[in-house]
Structure 1
Amino acid sequence: MSETTVSAEAVIRCEGIAAGFGSNILFRDVTFDVKRGEVFVILGGSGCGKSTLLKLMIGLVPPLAGRVTILDTDVWATEGKARLELLKRIGVMWQQGALFGSLTLLENVEMPLAEHTSLSAAARAEVARAKLGLVGLSEAASRLPSEVSGGMLKRAGVARALALDPPILFLDEPSAGLDPITSAGLDAMIRDLSRTLGTTFVVVTHELASILAIGDRCIMLDKEAKGVIAEGDPRRLREESTQPTVRAFFRREAA
């Protein structure tokens, strides 16, 4: 495992995290931080625990060991109203968008506003339209999820994740199932949002082109090692890593 320096600017800290199901340990001793305003990528091959780590970080899957703090709050030691307030400060986009099929894109983006704010219906619609505009979907506001492309579903999922203006967004496999051109457009959108809004992104993916396009820093999980085998700028890892599995991943070679 690479050495990881915990930064004073960290908005997320994972310390000594272990996760698994029954006797199956996915990973252990995972320690890293995520800095304010960066695009941080969790990468690795299938079955290494990437999505499980994301779910653990946002409070859906409990760790077997270790500690997760977001914005100086311990995710798993916080309960009740304090936990809800913390979760309102993060947004999540799931792999398939997870939109409600009977609602328009605008209505989907309005949902967090209806649940967690006292805004009027007109104000909610105005905010939702602004969020759809940020992801390039102003003209699709009245469409149903079944009426738009896969790439548009992902963008709408990001818009909904942005509804409450959270400082941190988690994206689960945003490029999965997309063609290269659509995927590149989504990558550009993520970079633009990071720069213009100052939002911190945590992105789970194994798509090499996306990793190199959007990632400021990354960790690489490995199924065999059951933990982190590399950490740093993905472009530097591609060029400089001497670890065989890391080199094979970034150079698309057989290990």
Structure 2
Amino acid sequence: MAPLISIQNVAQKFGTRTIFKNVSFNIEPGEIFAILGGSGCGKSTLLKQIIGLLAPTSGQITVAGHSVADEVEAVRKTIGVMFQSGALFGSMTLLENVALPLAVFTDLPAAARNEVARIKLALVGLGAAAARLPAEISGGMVKRAAIARALALDPPILLLDEPSAGLDPITSAEIDRLILDLRDTLGATFVVVTHELPSILAIAGRCAMLDAKAQGLIALGQPRELQANSTIPMVKAFFNRETPS
């Protein structure tokens, strides 16, 4: 089976500054795949490259058989994105936020759009909160609503940028459980950008670790295997919450 996402020899430079280079890995259908690393290593940069918001300096990315460089609109039809802050529109209810992609990208009448939005909100446990504004709900509920909006068009791929950031441990664990449930229910592929170790160990089947000093990929594999067996100082430090030797 061909990989759903293929990243081959990708690099990103801003002026003379290299963020990363020679990054290569594949993501398979149905995976929960984590992109991780410390601050400034390029996690969010790589996410922007995958959805075509940032053109790589070199290398090639394909998504669902489409080249991001040449077929970006086709690529974006396969992807739903949850941004780190949630990026909900504050003047719109949760229902209106989730229905917005349907209004922009489909010809569905308003009643049908709202019904789909209600279904998506129910999927993430917010069926009773459809009429509330983002300012009226908790941080965890904002994350759930953002995931519901990412699901609006039934994409086969979900990109989640720091879904657990800023949440307390219990709420973070609930988000992890939601991601696992959605993967199992919908069969979607999740790419999760995160530095939250408990979440990585709880949900990720495989992960790619970037490092700012190395300017690239320093580890690829199953999180618990990397935690137990890696001899790379930065990888050992990350997975064991230690100071690098």
TM-score of the alignment, normalized to the shorter chain, above 0.5 = yes
Q: Aligned equivalents of 2:175 and 2:51: distance in 1?
A: 23
Deviations 1:134-188 (A, max 9, x none): 1000011000000001110010000000000000000001111111110000000
1:107 to 96, 103, 116: 96
Which ranges in structure 2 are unaligned for 5 or more consecutive residues? none
For residue 20 of structure 2, what is the aligned residue in structure 1? 27
For residue 97 of structure 1, what is the aligned residue in structure 2? 86
Q: Are 1:161 and 2:154 matched, yes or no?
A: no
Shift of 1:20: 2.1
Q: Aligned equivalents of 2:11 and 2:24: distance in 1?
A: 10
2:183 to 194, 204, 209: 194
The DSSP-based 3-state class of the residue aligned with 2:145 is helix
1:210 to 199, 221, 238: 199
Shift of 1:86: 2.6
For residue 64 of structure 1, what is the aligned residue in structure 2? 57
1:123 to 105, 108, 112: 112
CA contact (8 A) 2:66 2:74 kept: no
**Alignment-mate amino acid for residue 69 of structure 1:** T
Q: Are 1:18 and 2:11 matched, yes or no?
A: yes
Q: Aligned equivalents of 1:56 and 1:76: distance in 2?
A: 9
The DSSP-based 3-state class of the residue aligned with 2:102 is helix
Structure 1's consecutive aligned runs of 4 or more residues displaced over 3 angstroms after TM superposition are none
Q: Are 1:139 and 2:128 matched, yes or no?
A: yes
For residue 4 of structure 1, what is the aligned residue in structure 2? none
Shift of 1:9: 3.5
For residue 183 of structure 1, what is the aligned residue in structure 2? 172
Q: RMSD across aligned C-alpha pairs, in angstroms?
A: 0.7
Deviations 1:188-233 (A, max 9, x none): 0001101111000000000000000110100000111101110000
Shift of 1:118: 1.1
For residue 234 of structure 1, what is the aligned residue in structure 2? 223
CA contact (8 A) 2:38 2:195 kept: yes
Q: Aligned equivalents of 1:159 and 1:198: distance in 2?
A: 15
Q: Aligned equivalents of 2:50 and 2:112: distance in 1?
A: 32
The DSSP-based 3-state class of the residue aligned with 1:76 is coil
Equivalenced residues, count: 244
Q: Give TM-score scaled by structure 1 length.
A: 0.94
CA contact (8 A) 2:67 2:75 kept: no
Which ranges in structure 1 are unaligned for 5 or more consecutive residues? 1-7
Deviations 1:67-86 (A, max 9, x none): 000001000122xxxx3233
